[in-house]
Amino acid sequence: MPYKPLSDRVIIQQQDAEETTKFGIVLPDAAQEKPQTGKVVAVGPGRTTDDGKNVPIAVKEGDVVVFAKYGGTTVKDAGQEYLIIKESDILAIRS
Amino acid sequence: MPYKPLSDRVIIQQQDAEETTKFGIVLPDAAQEKPQTGKVVAVGPGRTTDDGKNVPIAVKEGDVVVFAKYGGTTVKDAGQEYLIIKESDILAIRS
Amino acid sequence: MPYKPLSDRVIIQQQDAEETTKFGIVLPDAAQEKPQTGKVVAVGPGRTTDDGKNVPIAVKEGDVVVFAKYGGTTVKDAGQEYLIIKESDILAIRS
Amino acid sequence: MPYKPLSDRVIIQQQDAEETTKFGIVLPDAAQEKPQTGKVVAVGPGRTTDDGKNVPIAVKEGDVVVFAKYGGTTVKDAGQEYLIIKESDILAIRS
Amino acid sequence: MPYKPLSDRVIIQQQDAEETTKFGIVLPDAAQEKPQTGKVVAVGPGRTTDDGKNVPIAVKEGDVVVFAKYGGTTVKDAGQEYLIIKESDILAIRS
Amino acid sequence: MPYKPLSDRVIIQQQDAEETTKFGIVLPDAAQEKPQTGKVVAVGPGRTTDDGKNVPIAVKEGDVVVFAKYGGTTVKDAGQEYLIIKESDILAIRS
Amino acid sequence: MPYKPLSDRVIIQQQDAEETTKFGIVLPDAAQEKPQTGKVVAVGPGRTTDDGKNVPIAVKEGDVVVFAKYGGTTVKDAGQEYLIIKESDILAIRS
């Protein structure tokens, strides 16, 4: 993973259809919020508050997460697509 | 429940029609806010404030709640649908 | 009252027409804000600020209040309808 | 005045046309902001900040004020109409 | 000046055309922001912050100012029109 | 410069075409944000925060700056036009 | 680089097509957010918070970054175009 996200951003490798089925089918609830599953491949340092405090990110590399795709940005590396999203777009971790 | 919600999110198992009747019929007041009843099956750790303080969630697993479905996201596991919502979408607990 | 409101929410039993007349007729000023009178039947614990402080609710059970119905949600229990509103929708207490 | 306003709200008895003329004619500047004069008949305790501090209201009963009617709510008591507005809708006090 | 403005409001006596020319012609830049010159005739006490601190107003009676008329409210007293605006609508003082 | 800007405002003397060319041609990127160059001729004292702290302005008289013209207001003095903008509309200083 | 950005702004030299291919093709995800790669050529001092604290910028000169072009402003110097963006428009650093 050559990209290191900034602030409260996370890079996700989206699950392909087969994997998604293993974890359960994710049903979109509304058109503007498309939930998806994926694996976290890189996490930023967390945002810095006005008091200069760091708010670390609550997920870590390797976590499988459900996220709302709203607002993410796709990048490609070595033939593989990744998605850069904000931590706040992650809804839940699959334990 | 294989999903662990992040931040101030809660996972709800919606009540089917029979159960809802037992607790009283919930009448939608406006089209954009659809109140529903459901059982809390998982709660997140609560949001983190800019001061690094944790604001814990005021409901717990097993609580039966009235919530506004506005903005929730549906996920499916083992043939059962669940709804991931924000704590602020929960209006009241049925005691 | 089997419902316990969360945060800064209040449950109101709306006054029927006869009672409203006793307290004075309430005239709607604009279409989107419909003032009404009702009796408070349950109050939430108040909202929690970012500093973890609790801001208690300024009305109590039994208070007769004028409120803006805007944004409230109707629930039914034992054949009686109630309205869940935010404290900030309450305009005044009738003393 | 049987109504006690909550938070940063104020109850106003609007001036009738004769009185308004005595204080000077108030000219509406724009359609959405209709300035009016009136007498303050009840004031709320002021809003509570996130730090739990009370911000008292800067007008008192008996003050004659110029206010923007935008957003107010009319109530009636003993045949007299009153207007419940926010303190921030009051522009100036007539001294 | 019988009006005493509240909070961060200021009362302005607009310059007539002759006076404006003496100070330089003010050219409107966009339709929604109409810059004008005028003399300050009354200032409010300044706004109160959430910490209970007063933020005093940076202009004083007698100052000739350039202001954006956007949002102001016209009042009339003794045949003279005045404009009640927010301090933040004042762009500059003519020294 | 007879005008003294308030708060976080700055007065700019726009560069004419010849001068702009010396510093490099500035290309507008989008219709709503028109970058321009100009010389700072007056700076305000900076904004006052809720804590009563002053945040001084980061440019000084004589600085040549690139700014987004969005939202500025034109005033004229002694036949010369000036632009009153907010400090936040200044993108960079030409060193 | 004759321009020194203000506050939390960064100046980027966009990668031409050949260079972009070396780092992997960047695919736009949505029309309004056009991700691009570029080299950081100048960074501002960081924004100043209400407490007077400086929040330094997390990228440095020479960093190759992925950014959302949304909202940037193009300037030209010595025949070369540059883009002035906010730090928050930078999504990730290529390590």
Q: Which two tokens stand for residue F59?
A: 């440019």
For residue A83, pLDDT over 80 is answered with: yes
The residue to which tokens 């604001």 are assigned = B55
CB neighbour burial string for D1-29, b if at least 16 within 10 angstroms, e if fewer: eebbbbbbbbbbebbeeeeeeebbebeeb
Q: Does A59 touch chain B if contact means CB atoms closer than 8 Å? A: yes
For residue G13, pLDDT over 60 is answered with: yes
Question: What is the full DSSP assignment across A30-66?
Answer: BTTB-EEEEEEEEE---EE-TTS-EE--S--TT-EEE
Question: What average pLDDT does chain F have?
Answer: 83
Query: Which residues in F lie closer than 8 A to residue G71 (C-beta atoms)?
Result: 33
Query: Which residues in D lie closer than 8 A to residue E3 (C-beta atoms)?
Result: 66, 92-95
Q: Choose between B30 and B43: higher pLDDT.
A: B43
| pLDDT attached to residue D16 | 60
pLDDT category of residue C85 using cuts at 50, 70 and 90? very high
Q: What is the mean pLDDT of residues D9-38?
A: 63
Nearest beta carbon to residue C66 from set D3, D42, D78: D3
User: Which whole-number Å values give the CA distances from C55 to B29, B56, B65, C31, in the listed order?
Assistant: 27, 16, 22, 31
Query: Of C9-23, C58-72, E16-30, which has the strongest mean pLDDT?
Result: C58-72
Q: Do E75 and D66 touch (CB under 8 A)?
A: yes
Q: Which chains have at least 3 CB atom pairs separated by less than 8 Å from chain E? A: D, F
Question: What average pLDDT does chain C have?
Answer: 83
| pLDDT attached to residue E24 | 55
Q: Do D48 and C55 touch (CB under 8 A)?
A: yes
| pLDDT attached to residue C36 | 87
For chain D, the first-to-last Cα distance in angstroms comes to 23
Q: What is the mean pLDDT of residues G66-77?
A: 84
ipTM: 0.81
For residue C66, pLDDT over 50 is answered with: yes
Domains and CATH numbers, chain G: 9-94 (2.30.33.40)
Phi-psi sector, C6: left (phi>0), alpha (psi -120 to 50), beta: beta
Q: How far apart are CA D43 and CA D56, in angstroms?
A: 10
Which tens digit of pLDDT belongs to each residue from B60-75?
999 999 998 777 888 8
| pLDDT attached to residue C50 | 81
For residue C30, pLDDT over 80 is answered with: no
Alpha carbon of C87: minimum distance to chain B alpha carbons (Å): 12
The residue to which tokens 């404290």 are assigned = C87
pLDDT category of residue F3 using cuts at 50, 70 and 90? very high
Which tens digit of pLDDT belongs to each residue from F61-79?
999 999 987 778 888 888 8
Q: Do B9 and A91 touch (CB under 8 A)?
A: yes
User: Which whole-number Å values give the CA distances from G30 to A33, C77, G17, G84, in the listed order?
Assistant: 14, 47, 20, 21
Which tens digit of pLDDT belongs to each residue from B13-22?
998 644 444 4
Cβ(A37)–Cβ(A15) under 8 Å? yes
Rounded percentage of chain E residues whose pLDDT exceeds 70: 80
Q: How far apart are CA F61 and CA F83, in angstroms?
A: 14
The 8-class DSSP code of residue A87 comes to G
Secondary structure (3-state) at G66: strand
To which H or E segment does residue D75 belong? strand D73-77
pLDDT category of residue B51 using cuts at 50, 70 and 90? confident
For residue F83, pLDDT over 50 is answered with: yes
| pLDDT attached to residue A90 | 96
Q: How far apart are CA A66 and CA G33, in angstroms?
A: 23
Q: Which two tokens stand for residue F12?
A: 């700019």
Which tens digit of pLDDT belongs to each residue from F19-38?
444 455 555 444 334 578 99
Q: Which amino acid is at C62?
A: G
